[in-house]
Amino acid sequence: MRRISSSTTFFYKRIFPILWFGILGVTLLVALKDGAEGLPFVLLPLVMMAFGYVIMRLLIFDMLDQVLDDGDALVL
């Protein structure tokens, strides 16, 4: 059987969301800790988290881990 799915699926499904929300979370905590003046320093990371979650839910979280070609059938 030949693998036809991407080899980077693990990164997209497991590593990238941790990096995305981790970096934005640290940014938000630093902005709150330093008493950032102005709403954009607090609001922007929250908007980016919400936007990232929606995009990941639509495109990434439902991806299959591995797809194999078995001649006349696909093994999921």
Query: Domain locations in the chain?
Result: 2-75
Question: What's the rounded mean pLDDT across residues 45-71?
Answer: 92
For residue 71, what pLDDT is reported? 86
Reported as a pLDDT band with limits 50, 70 and 90, residue 16 is very high
Rounded to 5, what percent of the chain is helix, strand, coil? 60, 10, 35
Within 10 angstroms of residue 45's Cβ, the number of other Cβ atoms is: 21
What is the enclosing helix (H) or strand (E) of 69?
strand 68-69
Q: For residue 6, what pLDDT band results from cuts at 50, 70 and 90? A: confident
Amino acid identity of residue 71, one-letter, is G
Whole-structure pTM value: 0.81
Helix H segments across 34-66? Answer: 40-59
Q: Are 42 and 50 in contact (CB under 8 A)?
A: no
